[in-house]
Structure 1
Amino acid sequence: MSLVTKIEFIDDPKGKSHLKGLDIDLHYYLTDQADWDAEYWDFDSEYLQDYAKMLEDLFSKSKNGIEFQAMWIGEQPDKFVEVSINEFLEIVRSNKIGTSTRYIVNKNV
């Protein structure tokens, strides 16, 4: 199995624009203690500091915000969480990215 991320701009009222090539494969940053049955992924925390900066930059370039998820291939989210950009970046920096959560980071909240 492989862990993949999905990042989308929330810009088009007719649908979201998928950011092809920007879905950084976080699989390589999982720690040896990572458990796919856990509530949160366990990533290299040093890497997440830089990753949060990249996500913040994408958010600032978006018109309405971004959506983000990190899941095993073929799995679907079972939780949808709306958060502010500051809340989302804290989730990423503190290594609390949910294993089955889609984050909606909307500028209009």
Structure 2
Amino acid sequence: MAGELYVSQKMSLQTIIKDLATSEEIIDYSLHDALTDQADWNADYWDFHQNQLKSVKERIKNDYLNSSKGIVFAALWVSDLPLNDVETTIEDLLERFDHGRIGTRDRYSIKKSG
């Protein structure tokens, strides 16, 4: 069983959420299940089943609201590193999910003002 978990994490989409104030980083693999059969890690954007994104979007929004300085978010294939740093707002990031515009190699910084 441990081997199965290792394999699934090794060949998977990982979600990384980092708190800008504490540098605490949470890595999660649940977004992988929302990928469509057409999803391609070489494409510019991830192809997700829209009806499976509600809980992910809620989690990102809650992590942002509970942070003091903001968060960094990325959805990367396990072995990939981000190529693009995108400064955005929480509203824009959530809209990107709605419109299929979450980049396969993008890291999003969502900073709070003040």
- Compute the TM-score of the two structures, normalised by the length of structure 1: 0.86
Residue of structure 1 aligned with 2:58, choices 53, 61, 70? 53
Is 1:65 equivalent to 2:75 in the alignment? Answer: no
Matches within 5 A, 1:1-109: 1-12=11-22, 16-19=23-26, 23-108=28-113
Deviation digits for residues 50-87 of structure 1, max 9, x if unmatched? Answer: 32122111110001111011111121100000001111
Contact 1:40 1:97 in 2 (8 A): yes
Contact 1:4 1:27 in 2 (8 A): yes
Q: Which runs of structure 1 show a deviation greater than 2 angstroms over 4 or more consecutive aligned residues?
A: none
Question: What are the ranges of 5 or more consecutive residues in structure 2 without an aligned counterpart?
Answer: 1-10
Deviation digits for residues 12-64 of structure 1, max 9, x if unmatched? Answer: 3xxx11135xx243111110111111110011101123321221111100011
Identity of matched residues, %: 38
Contact 1:48 1:95 in 2 (8 A): no
For residue 93 of structure 1, report the CA deviation from its aligned partner.
Answer: 2.4
The structure where helix makes up a greater share of residues is 2
Contact 1:91 1:97 in 2 (8 A): yes
Contact 2:13 2:77 in 1 (8 A): yes
Larger radius of gyration: 2
> What is the distance in 1 between the residues matched to 2:103 and 2:51?
18
> What is the distance in 1 between the residues matched to 2:88 and 2:54?
18
Contact 2:70 2:112 in 1 (8 A): yes
